[in-house]
């Protein structure tokens, strides 16, 4: 019982897992005293009885004492992390040591600095070795950037892996042949170019998906094959299969979806999915290859069946909003073997990779996968003005499935949105470049919804060299919005904001058949497109210049003008 008392002295952080251990270990002692009430006359028995009865409150008080003490002790340490002083919320995220923690970090709030601070704290204060910390990110570029940032700032060689590289390291004793990343897309293209002719009923059904009165002739199909709507149909099949593979564990569900739908169009779509799915699986089997999702699944299965000597004591996951059930299961198995703690950092406002298999539900329902977590927020933004982040936050929170948060900024900019309307986009853009020269601006970032959007702006007066476009003494870089996530610029130009299938919002996001792959019962139109727009307008440190066709104005621009007119200025570029 003396040991029980020692847990509440504030000397160390008391996790929920430890609390459960204490409750289970001392439960019989508590019942014994409760039953034999005369024990309460003994001071040490009474103290234990009262502590056990109030154990949850004592845990909170213990952790508050611990945290306050640590905040004072580490005050100097956190005043210079990569040249920045960490704010109170960032420090609390670093110092709290729950077994599982979700850090909800707003745009421009310094989540990378928080991760860096956590790594240094674990090594320098908690005595962990570099190899006992595993950082994970979702792309090669982001993982390399984080690894370099940690090393350049601290000198520590902490491994930062993608999930695919982690799976590969766990399967190092296996003979693996990894399929080309675009194999599924190649199979889909090949299927509709040639293989579908051997399935005349499916060919006719597929054509009637677009034209209900189609007779399904080969001549008619050839005419439809290269139309934009059919290319979008193929992309939708690819996206559906990627999502299914990453988040569903039983392929028989595909047949269940087929039975559940009452829509002829959905039935046709799902039938195409099932056939292509099996062709894809057969191709992988026949060549002895596996794709990235298969590799993660195989690594997870290996951990279930075999005890591996993994060194990890702490897992830090960046961009956790881009997770999937498959990735989550792998992390759960690592924790089961190592008893490592986990800190996941992300922003549900910036979940924009559903097409590659990511599912926001894994983020929103974090406690379902990692019980009794700390849910912490970082709300100070150091990039955007308060006016911009207010508009961006209200705009994205119109989605029903976003976690409410109000970001705070010390910067102010009365009208952060500059609208530029055009009839001839190329000429207006050149006029805009001249306007920038008169303002003394020299460098900026151009963002588009699609890779090809930039081509409508280019002219002989603009030349390209070393990833930059140049016009006189101006230079700019072009990226899709997906590519720009995590980056920032002095100001940004967002182009091609038109109301069309491939405009912004992209109309491909609307299809209700995707409801089979998600838990939500209600979702507004363009849910992910809304998050993508949020990412686009929060890349800037200052203004956003929005290029809009006069007669095909984007639905999002109409919404901005309707709801946030006081934050908008319309520029006339001749």
The helix (run of H) or strand (run of E) holding residue 470 is strand 468-471
Whether residue 298 lies inside any domain: the answer is: no
- Are residues 549 and 417 located together in one domain of the fold? yes
Residue 398 phi, psi (nearest 5):
-70, -20
The predicted pLDDT at position 524 comes to 61
Predicted local distance difference test score (pLDDT) of residue 521: 45
Residue 1 predicted with pLDDT over 70: no
Tell me, what's the pLDDT at 523?
53
Residue indicated by tokens 């919002």: 505
In this prediction, residue 522 carries a pLDDT of 46
Residue 295 falls inside a structural domain: no
Domain range for 443: 386-571
DSSP assignment letter at 26? S
- What's the total number of domains in the chain? 4
Cα-Cα-Cα-Cα dihedral sign, residues 435, 395, 246, 335: positive
pLDDT at 559 (0 to 100): 95
Residue 525: exposure state from Cβ atoms within 10 A (0-12, 13-18, ≥19): exposed
Radius of gyration in angstroms for the set of CA atoms belonging to the chain, rounded to a whole number: 27
Residue 430 and residue 282 share a domain = no
pLDDT of residue 255: 87
Q: What pLDDT is recorded for position 72? A: 92
294 within domain boundaries? no
Asked if the structure places residue 483 within a domain, the reply is yes
Residue at which a domain ends, from 378, 401, 427: 378
Query: What percentage of residues in the chain have a pLDDT greater than 70?
Result: 96
pLDDT at 33 over 80: no
Give pTM, 2 decimals. Answer: 0.88
Dihedral angle at the C-alpha atoms of 317, 323, 325, 328, nearest 10 degrees?
Answer: 0
d(CA 335, CA 312): 9
Q: Is the pLDDT of residue 481 over 90?
A: yes
Instruction: Dump pLDDT digits (tens) for 170-196.
Output: 988 667 788 888 899 999 999 999 999
Element housing 446 (H / E): strand 443-448
Of 498, 496, 527, the residue nearest 510 (C-alpha): 527
Are 264 and 116 contained in the same domain?
no
Of 430 and 142, the structure prediction assigns the larger pLDDT to: 430
The whole-number pLDDT of residue 518 equals 67
Q: Is residue 300 part of a domain?
A: no
Q: Considering the chain, what is the average pLDDT of its residues?
A: 89
- Whether the predicted pLDDT of 346 surpasses 70: yes
Range 461-466 average pLDDT: 93
Q: What is the model's pLDDT at position 39?
A: 67
Cβ atoms of residues 230 and 210 within 8 Å: yes
| Domain boundary pick from 289, 315, 344 | 289
Q: What is the largest CA-CA distance in the chain?
A: 96
Least confident of 35-39, 67-71, 201-205, 428-432: 35-39
Q: What is the pLDDT of residue 6?
A: 75
**Residues 292-301: tens digit of each pLDDT:** 888 999 999 9
Same domain, 414 and 328: no
The predicted pLDDT at position 433 comes to: 94
> Is the pLDDT at 340 greater than 90, yes or no?
yes
For helices 163-170 and 325-338, give the axis angle rounded to 10 degrees: 50
Instruction: Answer yes or no: do 427 and 564 share one domain.
Output: yes
Look at residue 574 in the predicted model and tell me its pLDDT: 64
Please tell me whether residues 162 and 117 are part of one structural domain. Answer: yes
| Same domain? 539 vs 403 | yes
> What pLDDT score does 515 carry?
77
Question: Rounded distance, CA 296 to CA 290, Å?
Answer: 10
Residues 190 and 265 in one domain: yes
Q: Are residues 41 and 118 in the same domain?
A: no
Q: Give the bridge partners for 470, in sequence order.
A: 463, 475
* 42 part of a folded domain: yes
Taking residues 26-33, report their average pLDDT.
82
Q: 555 falls in which pLDDT band (50, 70, 90)?
A: very high
The mean pLDDT of 283-306, rounded to a whole number, is: 90
Same domain, 207 and 235: yes
* Residue 324 is assigned to a structural domain of this protein: yes
DSSP annotation of 464 reads E
Q: Are residues 216 and 285 in the same domain?
A: yes
List pLDDT tens digits, range 394-427.
999 999 889 998 999 999 999 999 999 999 999 9
Residues 406 and 530 in one domain: yes
Q: Domain holding 530: CATH number?
A: 3.40.50.300
The reply to whether omega before 7 is within 30° of 0 (cis) is no
User: How far, in whole angstroms, is CA 309 from its chain's centroid?
Assistant: 30
Q: Which is more confidently placed, 547 or 253? A: 547
- For residue 34, pLDDT over 90 is answered with no
pLDDT tier, 141 (very low <50, low <70, confident <90, very high otherwise): confident
Which residue, 162, 150, 144, is CA-closest to 121? 150
* pLDDT value for 92: 95
Domain boundary residue, one of 230, 260, 289? 289
Q: What pLDDT shows up at residue 205?
A: 93
At 363-375, the pLDDT tens digits run 999 999 998 899 9
Domain membership flag for residue 301: no
Is residue 258 pLDDT above 90, yes or no? no
| Three-state secondary structure readout of 83-150 | CECCCHHHHHHHHCCCCEEEEEECCCCCHHHHHHHHHHHHHHCCCCCHHHEEEEECCHHHHHHHHHHH
Pick the residue with more confidence: 32 or 554?
554
């Amino acid at each position: 019982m003396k040991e029980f008392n020692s847990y509440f002295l504030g000397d160390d952080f008391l996790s929920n897992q430890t609390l459960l251990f204490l409750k289970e270990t001392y439960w019989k002692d508590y019942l014994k005293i409760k039953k034999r009430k005369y024990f309460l006359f003994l001071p040490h028995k009474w103290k234990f009885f009262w502590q056990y009865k109030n154990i949850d409150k004592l845990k909170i008080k213990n952790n508050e004492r611990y945290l306050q003490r640590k905040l004072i002790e580490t005050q100097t340490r956190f005043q210079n992390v990569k040249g920045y002083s960490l704010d109170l919320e960032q420090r609390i995220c670093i110092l709290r040591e729950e077994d599982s923690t979700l850090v909800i970090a707003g745009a421009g709030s310094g989540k990378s600095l928080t991760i860096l601070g956590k790594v240094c704290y674990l090594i320098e204060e908690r005595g962990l070795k570099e190899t006992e910390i595993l950082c994970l990110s979702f792309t090669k570029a982001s993982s390399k950037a984080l690894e370099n940032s940690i090393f350049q700032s601290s000198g520590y060689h902490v491994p930062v892996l993608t999930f695919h590289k982690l799976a590969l390291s766990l399967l190092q004793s296996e003979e693996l042949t990894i399929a080309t990343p675009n194999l599924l897309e190649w199979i889909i293209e090949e299927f509709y170019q040639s293989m579908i002719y051997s399935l005349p009923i499916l060919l006719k059904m597929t054509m009637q998906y677009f034209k209900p009165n189609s007779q399904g002739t080969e001549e008619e199909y050839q005419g439809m094959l290269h139309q934009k709507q059919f290319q979008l149909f193929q992309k939708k099949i690819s996206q559906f299969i990627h999502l299914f593979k990453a988040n569903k564990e039983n392929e028989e569900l595909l047949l269940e979806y087929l039975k559940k739908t009452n829509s002829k169009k959905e039935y046709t779509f799902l039938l195409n999915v099932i056939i292509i799915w099996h062709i894809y699986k057969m191709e992988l089997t026949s060549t002895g290859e596996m794709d990235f999702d298969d590799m993660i699944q195989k690594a997870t299965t290996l951990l279930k069946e075999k005890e591996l000597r993994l060194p990890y004591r702490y897992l830090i996951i960046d961009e956790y909003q881009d997770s999937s059930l498959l990735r989550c299961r792998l992390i759960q198995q690592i924790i089961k073997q190592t008893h490592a703690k986990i800190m996941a950092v992300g922003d549900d406002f910036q979940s924009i990779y559903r097409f590659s298999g990511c599912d926001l539900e894994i983020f929103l329902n974090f406690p379902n996968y990692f019980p009794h977590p700390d849910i912490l927020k970082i709300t100070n933004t150091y990039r955007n003005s308060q006016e911009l982040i207010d508009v961006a936050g209200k705009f994205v929170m119109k989605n029903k499935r976003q976690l409410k948060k109000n970001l705070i900024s010390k910067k102010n900019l009365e009208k952060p949105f500059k609208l530029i309307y055009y009839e001839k986009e190329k000429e207006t853009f050149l006029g805009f470049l001249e306007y920038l020269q008169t303002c003394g601006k020299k460098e900026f970032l151009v963002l588009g919804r699609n890779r090809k959007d930039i081509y409508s702006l280019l002219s002989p007066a603009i030349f390209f060299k070393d990833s930059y476009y140049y016009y006189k003494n101006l230079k700019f870089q072009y990226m899709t919005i997906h590519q720009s996530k995590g980056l920032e610029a002095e100001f940004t130009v967002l182009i091609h904001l038109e109301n069309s299938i491939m405009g912004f919002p992209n109309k491909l996001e609307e299809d209700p058949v995707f409801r089979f792959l998600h838990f939500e019962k209600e979702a507004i139109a363009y849910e992910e497109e809304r998050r993508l727009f949020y990412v686009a307008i929060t890349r800037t440190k200052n203004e956003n210049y929005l290029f809009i066709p006069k007669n095909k104005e984007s639905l999002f621009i109409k919404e901005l003008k309707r709801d946030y007119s006081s934050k908008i200025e319309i520029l006339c570029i001749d």
